[in-house]
Amino acid sequence: MARALTAKGAATRQRIIDGAAAEIRERGVLTTTLDDVCRRTATSKGQLFHYFPDGREQLLLAVAEREAERVLEDQQPHLGRLTTWDAWQAWRDAVVLRYQQQGMNCPLGVLITELGRSTPAAQAVTGRLVERWQYELHAGIAGMQRSGRIAAELDAGRTAAAMVAAVQGGVTILMSTGSSAHLEAALDTSLLFLRLSR
């Protein structure tokens, strides 16, 4: 892809991704058409296929990558500094708040279910996200172990994996029921577990 891209072109391309992401967040992947994206971003089909020659699928993948970034960004700066119990609590609150605000639309989740089956590229996006997320939690737990606030015997890697799963599940349930009760229970129970292990 030795593609020449002027500043204006790059801006348009980004505008398309952002607009598509917003549209998807509001109305879902399935009901979002390329014409919708064009209307919203004040672009034309020509431009869309100019910047995404492989069409819809390529655009969705770009959106998925962007949304995956957001997932982690929105947990910062807490996620990167899980060195005290207060920090863990702040992180927990940030996660709950973020997903309560997003409500029942999880663009990333739907994108993955739509793309994941066919494209290995989409699977890679999810894989990397889960990996990074788990890595951050792992680092947090390990740090707390070093400072003696969590028992050293605890398997930090497995516990981090379990926490990622718990949050993911809480979000999924929030998505389909509208209630954040499960997400909160999952987070609180996870934190309680970390405390208990000591």
Partner DNA sequence: CCTAAAATAGACCCGCAAGTCCAGAATCCT
Partner DNA sequence: AGGATTCTGGACTTGCGGGTCTATTTTAGG
Least distance CB 171 / a second copy (angstroms): 8
Least distance CB 26 / a second copy (angstroms): 10
From the list DNA, a second copy, none, partner contacted by residue 77 (C-beta under 5 to 8 A by kind): none
Smaller CB separation from DNA, 30 or 153 = 30
**Per CB under 7 A, does 44 bind DNA?**
yes
Alpha-carbon dihedral 33, 176, 164, 181, rounded to 10 degrees: 140
- Residue 1's CB is within 10 A of a number of other CB atoms, namely 4
Among 114, 139, 142, 149, binds a second copy (CB under 8 A): 114
The Cα-based distances of 10 to 13, 16, 29, 51, 161 in angstroms read 5, 10, 24, 9, 37
**Per CB under 8 A, does 104 bind a second copy?**
yes
**Per CB under 7 A, does 45 bind DNA?**
yes
**Cβ contact 87:78 at 8 Å:** yes
From the list DNA, a second copy, none, partner contacted by residue 161 (C-beta under 5 to 8 A by kind): a second copy
Only one residue has tokens 């639309």, namely 105
**Per CB under 7 A, does 74 bind DNA?**
no
**Per CB under 7 A, does 8 bind DNA?**
yes
- Type of residue numbered 157: G
CA geometry: angle 101, 106, 110, nearest 5 deg: 170
From the list a second copy, DNA, none, partner contacted by residue 126 (C-beta under 5 to 8 A by kind): a second copy
The Cα-based distances of 79 to 90, 137, 145, 189, 196 in angstroms read 9, 7, 16, 18, 21
Residues that bind a second copy (CB under 8 A): 28, 30-31, 104-105, 109-110, 112-114, 116-117, 123, 126-127, 130, 158-159, 161-162, 164-173, 175-178, 181-183, 185-186, 188-190, 192-193, 196-197
